[in-house]
Structure 1
């Protein structure tokens, strides 16, 4: 406990770090206040604020409840996330975008601008869909088309303002701004879900099952941290070079290959595909058979098995397009580095590719287990709101963002010659996965 208070005191002593933390808290407070401001022309008393399930429930969690409250921030930063993913995929498939990625700072600015323009377009489209499907007609106090047009522009402005807040947090605060905004939205749902689960247990089976749930949640979080931080180190030896009277190189370093190099992207892609059967069932009610019904029930074995298989497949796919063993081998060869016992060049590339394939399989299986944990928790009787924290995208984002932010704080402490946050070793943050060169860290 004394170590904790000493560390907090050291954090407060560093003026730059103190200002950054206060700026971050201020920007997040502005975001949370704005999430409770209802769209003009909407009667908040008529809105259905009940928790949504499936993909809509996930969007509502990421938006911190703004989605169900018809807030000016109802769409949150998800349009920006979508735009960042699109730009990243274009950077893999389109040569023009690949060229911009290699242009350094100027290319990064161009990709940033394209991402912002694409965010506006996506937000406008999602704004129309949100007004038409999520706001009941009896809650609208303005006549059409004035209500739809004004709401669409206000939602777009709200998303752009949230995006600006995220960029300001990154520049003036601590941590990745967009990721912190998503994390705050998720954490905002935790107290209500915790109280609801506690009330239901006290009214039913008692406090013992609730304590067991908390213990299980603790171990799930530990397991998730292991997946996020797990790496396979490949030793790299650099040749010695004599320049003048000085010797360069001759040291051994490591290439840290992450067990889960794809982050949360496979879960996001798989959830998007699993939303297709639900959409078919809504648009064509007569076509719903037993298979379609099973795939729309996210607690059914068919849904979870399909979901897990898609996550494993997308993990291999996303790792293959984001981690390039050939380029890693070429860069290593140019810098005079080699893997001990492995010939430089193509043989080294094949070796790195084989290692990535070996660690990606268990990583993808563990990721699939984390993704289906909320469904298993619901089947075992956990409240659906509280079950979201037992795994899936929300838990991965929470763990990743917290580790990343703590790693930045520790870097500030070590630069000023203070002790880090851990007694031994250093806290490892995450590797940015999504959003290409400009997108958010998820």
Structure 2
């Protein structure tokens, strides 16, 4: 009975966390339908109908349709991600911020507050450009200073709310709240994309064989992403402290391995790369057709499928893969942990030699991961050029970038659930053993 009661409590807490995530996503979807004040909806629909396959439609796919509705969530969580990137770069180069990073919880709390302030500033800048662009495209019922002010306030409030919602999902739910919000934004457009491809086939606009080939390619891409994401480089370990005397010789201790994922950066390079790319691209996209000649040239050069766009995107993806892995991994700390636990890599001396060995492995895996992420993310960019108009929304949502985010976030969520359940069961087991929790420094 006690065992069943403990299990019931664990599942009750897990259910509460999962329901909190679901409720937060429902609130997010409701908010994506709350429009900004003073927008001409007919002009907005015309803009998106004329720009099929454009960068503006790609931004709309990542926002869950918020841009096409010009809701308060139009800018989404992208400004917060951009501010986080800037703050992480600053923390690695500015001595005062680097010192804050080393001060533990209080230092991280200050850096988080700086990131929030940076998010407000970036959102206000982007919101100002959006308001000006809306007036230029005659989408404002009553253009002027009041319209710009209310638009900026609405966009800032929407982004700040999403930032808070993501933090609540991380703390009170399961998984990374920001990734889950982006995941929900993409998944929200899947039913409509599937319905559109069925309609196009029914109308004879596209060849059924072409649609089947693209569907098969998407399934193959999902299988490839899952295969790579589950791939590991296992470094063998010997535990010297667990050697024991057997007869007249020393028997080897327990053997295990140190796992390193092939894609150590996960989905973050894609999110970071597009976040940085979207900041100037939003200005370019909303300014299309107007402005100075150099801006029009930049608009044409940064259109999806153009060489400059692909080159900039690939550069961002590779850079942020190495940046994120360097930010989250510490070979020296890993080597020290192995040495303290009595684990050694066969043929490698503990200490600095082990740290160098692990660092070399991380660098090689990071290079492979960067190539993999870049190839996966460039697939939809090339397909949109080929199938612009007829299958644009389907390719946007079932292309490499979107599928990478969907699959990786879904896998990460499931791993978080499994890890949480194992942690709860292990904690309950320790409570049943008298003195075990106290002996391991755990709360009773």
Tell me if TM exceeds 0.5.
yes
2:85–2:272 Cα contact (<8 Å) kept: no
Give 3-state SS (helix, strand or coil) of 2:41's partner.
coil
1:27/1:316 Cα in 2 relative to 1: closer, same or farther (>3 Å)? Answer: closer
Structure 2 residue corresponding to 1:405, chosen from 400, 406, 413: 413
1:205/1:80 Cα in 2 relative to 1: closer, same or farther (>3 Å)? Answer: closer
Structure 2 residue corresponding to 1:385, chosen from 393, 402, 413: 393
Are 2:369 and 1:363 aligned? yes
Superimposed CA distance per residue, residues 103-151 of structure 1 (whole angstroms, 9 cap, x where no aligned partner): 3222222222122111111111111111112455533233411111121
TM-score normalised by length of structure 2:
0.78
Are 2:304 and 1:298 aligned? yes
Per the TM alignment, residue 260 of structure 1 is displaced from its structure 2 partner at its CA by 1.9
Per the TM alignment, residue 101 of structure 1 is displaced from its structure 2 partner at its CA by 2.5
Superimposed CA distance per residue, residues 319-360 of structure 1 (whole angstroms, 9 cap, x where no aligned partner): 445534344334433544321110123322222222223323
1:274–1:307 Cα contact (<8 Å) kept: no
Superimposed CA distance per residue, residues 146-179 of structure 1 (whole angstroms, 9 cap, x where no aligned partner): 1111211121111111222222222333332222
TM-score normalised by length of structure 1:
0.78
Structure 1 residue corresponding to 2:266, chosen from 263, 280, 298: 263
From the CA coordinates, give the structure whose radius of gyration is larger.
Answer: 2
Per the TM alignment, residue 361 of structure 1 is displaced from its structure 2 partner at its CA by 3.1
Give 3-state SS (helix, strand or coil) of 1:261's partner.
coil
Which residue of the partner structure matches residue 20 of structure 2? 23
List runs of 5+ in structure 1 lacking aligned partners.
1-9, 243-248, 419-442
Structure 2 residue corresponding to 1:345, chosen from 331, 344, 351: 351
Which residue of the partner structure matches residue 227 of structure 2? 226
Please identify which structure carries the higher helix content. 2
Which residue of the partner structure matches residue 91 of structure 1? 91
| Root-mean-square deviation over aligned CA pairs | 3.6
1:47–1:136 Cα contact (<8 Å) kept: no
List runs of 5+ in structure 2 lacking aligned partners.
1-6, 244-251, 427-444
Superimposed CA distance per residue, residues 364-408 of structure 1 (whole angstroms, 9 cap, x where no aligned partner): 222222011113433553712211234443222211211122123
1:303/1:201 Cα in 2 relative to 1: closer, same or farther (>3 Å)? Answer: farther
Which residue of the partner structure matches residue 329 of structure 1? 335
1:70/1:276 Cα in 2 relative to 1: closer, same or farther (>3 Å)? Answer: closer
Alignment of 1:27-426 (within 5 A): 27-48=24-45, 50=48, 53=53, 55-134=55-134, 136=136, 138-202=138-202, 203-240=204-241, 251-267=254-270, 272=276, 285=293, 295-300=301-306, 304=310, 307-308=313-314, 311-312=317-318, 315-316=321-322, 318-320=324-326, 322-381=328-387, 383-414=391-422
1:364/1:294 Cα in 2 relative to 1: closer, same or farther (>3 Å)? Answer: farther
Per the TM alignment, residue 78 of structure 1 is displaced from its structure 2 partner at its CA by 1.2
Deviates more, 1:308-317 or 1:279-288: 279-288
Q: Distance in 2 between matches of 1:182 and 1:400?
A: 12
Per the TM alignment, residue 270 of structure 1 is displaced from its structure 2 partner at its CA by 5.4
